[in-house]
Structure 1
Amino acid sequence: MSKEILAEGVCDLGNREVSHLRDAIHGSVILPGEPAYEHTRKVWNALFDRRPAVIVVCRGVSDVVETVKFASRYGLPVSVRGGGHHIAGHGTCDNGVMIDTSEMRAVSVNPVRRIATVQCGATAGEVIRETQRFGLAVPTGDVSKVGIAGLTLGGGMGYLRRKYGLTCDNLIGADIVLADGSFVHVSADENPELFWAIRGGGGNFGVVTSFEFQLHPVGPMVMGIQVTYSGDDMAVVLRGCRDYLATGTVDVSFNIAMVAIPPLPGVPPHLVGQRVVTLNGMHAGKDLEQAALDIEPLRRLATPLMDMSGPVDYTGLHTMHDDRIPEGVPAYGKSLYVGDLDDEMINVIKNAVRNGGPMSMAMIWPLGGEMANVPADRSAFGDRGASSVVMMESLWQDPSEEEPAINWVTSFYDALRPYAYNDGTYLNMAGLEEDVEAIIRASYGRNYERLAIIKRQYDPTNVFRFNLNIAPVDERIN
């Protein structure tokens, strides 16, 4: 069905059908032209300017059920907006039903069982704040603004990945509204095949309304890693990180960012605009004295421009980079997994970064540790054998900057392809490739066939397709 025909079908619904939906839910139904529409339809990445036919701001599970039934009744596809931070703008859609879960944000913690129950609209920061009241945490990302739902369903890599694995590795149960409007619970014992699929399989199988996470003792104070080196020392810093990780403790997880320093609070004026290499992360151990010793080598890889490493509040650590990528600015990015960070690859990265624009960023997230100990078939996420994931992003504010920004990402990505671990990518940072379906298949590897069969069982008409889509098994292109 073309967008034009679908749009006409939506218009033909008329006020009566929309009124029935409004009467059936506790939340809000927002249509084009209404005051809240322009704000609510937007996602973080302004590269995407999509216009849903209907936006439903849900306040609870019953709202989600009624909205999915409404979409099914009139043959409308569904997008689901949690945090709205995916690089490919998947939280919104054209001419479909957009389910906004931002008012479903409750977080409940059982400190005895070390379990958190989290509604789908909560952000990572809200989960961190509530769990930290009890000195507990679940692995999340490296910033607080990202939505917990999308993060979990796509895997979830953060500062605890080497110690406690991915976010999805710590998922022990979930509630899901399926494409037919039915409501199910999943766990290792209940609907186990669907439980397997949502741990890395994205939003392909329904609207996950609630998550149950296993928590771990972390914080409230941890040893933070916040050290900045000159871009001139990039090669020696990257080699030093590689060598450190070969012998370092799994308590340590950190990200390497190569970026021009923006004019942020606390940044000395003489450093603004300078291209630097920063290490941002933490040591998860309780013994801060030992943690300080363990991270010391990372603080003397070269002469630091700034070093703010030291004891830090775990909650605050995850807000330090919230403004790294501002809301409402166009962004373009890709990622790929790489093998060993050898000297030849380091030179490729160094040359690419040197040619980046003022709002370009390259990141290397070293992997391994506990996340790598999970077999590829244990969850949908798949193979964990890569040493690192490399991400490249560009932002722009003036339309004239769009083409060079995109070209930089593309050329960087192409230059790194010969060093790729496989043909896949981290799917929470994917969707802008030329052949998205090929990337999805490669990223899931042998798990793809199983996922397509599960998709056929739970969403045979592909209602949930505004995502990194896995088509139902009989719709796949072979």
Structure 2
Amino acid sequence: MNDRSLLLEEENRFALEQAVVGDVVFPEHPEYEARRKVWNGLFDPKPAVIVVCQNADDVSAAVQYANRQGLPVAVRGRGHHIAGYGSCDGGVLVDTSAMRDVLVDATTQTVKVACGVSAGEVIRATQTHGLAVPTGDVSKVGIAGLTLGGGMGYLRRKYGLTCDHLIEAEMVLANGQQVRVSATENAELFWAIRGGGGNFGIVTSFTFQARRIGPTVYGIRLMYSAADVETVLQGCREYLRTDRADVSFNIAIHTIPPLPHLPQHLIGQKVVSINGMHAGEDMELAALDSEPLRKLATPLLDLCGPIDYTDLHTHLDEQVPEGMPAYGRSIYLSTLDDPSIATIAQAVDTAPPTAMAMVWLLGGRMAEVPASETAFGARDAEALFIMEELVIPEPSDAVQKARVSSAWVDHVHRSLAEEQLSVATYLNMAGLEEQPEIVVRATYGANYARLSAIKREFDPDNVFRLNPNILPE
């Protein structure tokens, strides 16, 4: 680099630092090492600079700096995507984690949320007014990534996805311009960000329509032996096929870790857990309606009963500790038929102790929304199957080490993809796909062409590409 280039780089650095209210963290900064980390310890990204944004103007300045320098842009709210999208090597990391405002309007039952807020913060703020926005099932994840990718949680069958409740957003485009989007303003962008991920800009605030629910709901918390996995999956499938829209739950097949709050006799056992809720207001009717789930086999643990809505969403937080190295993939199952269940049962038999398989049963209101109404078009699957495995990679070439260590995940994914004749997946849970473009196209289906056209209009240079990427064709 010659003297003129060095001078220009220094001028650009200085201009960025002057333009931003928040911290500008270059590699020599004392906070650089801590701030560059993402949740998944499998990844060790080293961005050229981290811009810790305090407001939308900071976000605009960071994007404009990246454009001037010709650097890629990564965006981090809470940094929980399993594929490590919350940072990058050699680019500009736009860190929005300091943008944490939550404003609830109890009269209109709406909530305006800044992009760095966690799902748990939204839950706690809205529950003080007896309201809730459908979120995921883990409180630590960021509301931004959750919403942009869809957002499946314990209200999905009752009320739909997180993105279905978005009524307005403010965002920064690839050129640094700030815009507002809604059904009446920049309507195409509004359509695209409801399920289209971070492909079209950086959303700095979200306004949601909330629902009346809580503070007490009927929690469904059951544990069966993994030997009963086929019986449990078949029973859960038939139970939800009887139009029980009030009920949403996830099924996990895993080995019980040594957690202090669990009975010691369960530690080390391979089990099938059912976690979720009944959204009905009458606890007695909810208990009666949930009774078949408690009799699928002989339960090892039955903790069903009234529970605080906020507490319910913290029970799985300990399963996603910061820095945990994990490799995972997911795939939609058009139907949870007996051959698919048999494949899952066989996978469970061969799973290493560090592996977890999850079945999220879908349907209800989530499936009733027309696929063309939002960018999130994959609404007709009966289930989502998720495979995760903890890995301990070598510091060098971590991604390749993870692939070698996680042959189980790839084998199970390949078997189900052959059965389903599709690799479509929930992109919030998409892992290190071998052919990401094929996966993204399959997932969006008929919506992909429209999304690509919107991408071409608002981000023709594909500035926002560190995500499940939609190409500006």
Q: Which moved more, 1:394-403 or 1:251-260?
A: 394-403
The corresponding residue for 1:346 is 341
Residues 40-91 of structure 1: CA deviation (Å, up to 9, x unaligned): 1111111111111010000111111111111122222211001101111111
Distance 2:229 2:192 in 1: 39
The answer on 1:420 being equivalent to 2:415 is no
Gaps of 5+ in 1: 474-478
The corresponding residue for 1:32 is 27
Of 293, 296, 314, 2:291 maps to 296
The corresponding residue for 1:309 is 304
Residues 314-358 of structure 1: CA deviation (Å, up to 9, x unaligned): 000000110113221211111111122222221110110111111
Alignment coverage as a number of residue pairs: 467
Distance 2:89 2:37 in 1: 12
Contact 1:240 1:301 in 2 (8 A): yes
Distance 2:227 2:354 in 1: 18
The answer on 1:287 being equivalent to 2:282 is yes
Task: Name the SS of the counterpart of 2:317 in structure 1.
Answer: coil
Distance 1:168 1:41 in 2: 28
The corresponding residue for 2:56 is 61
Distance 1:62 1:345 in 2: 49
1:312-351 alignment to 2 at 5 Å?
A: 312-351=307-346
Contact 2:42 2:393 in 1 (8 A): no
Distance 2:120 2:26 in 1: 30
The corresponding residue for 1:143 is 138
Residues 251-270 of structure 1: CA deviation (Å, up to 9, x unaligned): 00000000001111311112
Distance 1:130 1:279 in 2: 27
The corresponding residue for 1:168 is 163
Task: Name the SS of the counterpart of 1:208 in structure 2.
Answer: strand
Distance 2:134 2:267 in 1: 32
The answer on 1:435 being equivalent to 2:430 is no
Task: Name the SS of the counterpart of 1:440 in structure 2.
Answer: helix
Contact 1:252 1:282 in 2 (8 A): yes
Distance 1:333 1:350 in 2: 18
The answer on 1:234 being equivalent to 2:229 is yes
Question: 1:402 Cα deviation (Å)?
Answer: 4.3
1:39-438 alignment to 2 at 5 Å?
A: 39-397=34-392, 399=394, 402=402, 405-420=405-420, 422-438=422-438
Amino acid at match of 1:78: V
Provide closer, same or farther for how the CA distance between residues 10 and 38 of structure 1 changes in structure 2, counting only shifts above 3 A: farther
Contact 1:360 1:405 in 2 (8 A): no
Question: 1:12 Cα deviation (Å)?
Answer: 7.0
Question: 1:433 Cα deviation (Å)?
Answer: 1.3
Gaps of 5+ in 2: none
Contact 1:10 1:53 in 2 (8 A): no
Provide closer, same or farther for how the CA distance between residues 421 and 376 of structure 1 changes in structure 2, counting only shifts above 3 A: farther
Q: Percent identity?
A: 58
Distance 2:422 2:109 in 1: 36
Q: Which moved more, 1:339-348 or 1:78-87?
A: 339-348
Question: 1:403 Cα deviation (Å)?
Answer: 5.4
Distance 2:404 2:325 in 1: 13
Question: 1:430 Cα deviation (Å)?
Answer: 1.1
Task: Name the SS of the counterpart of 1:33 in structure 2.
Answer: coil
Contact 1:81 1:102 in 2 (8 A): yes
Amino acid at match of 1:287: D
Task: Name the SS of the counterpart of 2:300 in structure 1.
Answer: strand
Let me know the Cα RMSD of the aligned residues. 1.8
Distance 1:85 1:227 in 2: 26
Distance 1:229 1:284 in 2: 23
Distance 2:62 2:404 in 1: 41
Amino acid at match of 2:328: G
Question: 1:38 Cα deviation (Å)?
Answer: 1.0
Q: Which moved more, 1:46-55 or 1:435-444?
A: 46-55
Distance 1:50 1:44 in 2: 11
Question: 1:11 Cα deviation (Å)?
Answer: 6.9
TM-score by length of 1: 0.95
Q: Which moved more, 1:162-171 or 1:374-383?
A: 374-383
Residues 359-403 of structure 1: CA deviation (Å, up to 9, x unaligned): 100000000000001111111111311100100000124659945
Contact 1:105 1:118 in 2 (8 A): yes
Task: Name the SS of the counterpart of 2:124 in structure 1.
Answer: helix
Question: 1:33 Cα deviation (Å)?
Answer: 2.6
Amino acid at match of 1:457: E
The answer on 1:465 being equivalent to 2:465 is yes
The corresponding residue for 1:22 is 17
Residues 189-240 of structure 1: CA deviation (Å, up to 9, x unaligned): 1110000000000001111000010100110000001100011111111111
Distance 1:471 1:435 in 2: 14
Contact 2:327 2:391 in 1 (8 A): no
Contact 1:71 1:77 in 2 (8 A): yes
The corresponding residue for 1:476 is none
Amino acid at match of 1:297: P
Distance 1:442 1:41 in 2: 32
Contact 1:46 1:329 in 2 (8 A): yes
Contact 1:336 1:420 in 2 (8 A): no
Task: Name the SS of the counterpart of 1:257 in structure 2.
Answer: strand
Task: Name the SS of the counterpart of 2:443 in structure 1.
Answer: helix
Provide closer, same or farther for how the CA distance between residues 154 and 421 of structure 1 changes in structure 2, counting only shifts above 3 A: farther
Provide closer, same or farther for how the CA distance between residues 384 and 9 of structure 1 changes in structure 2, counting only shifts above 3 A: farther
Task: Name the SS of the counterpart of 1:93 in structure 2.
Answer: coil
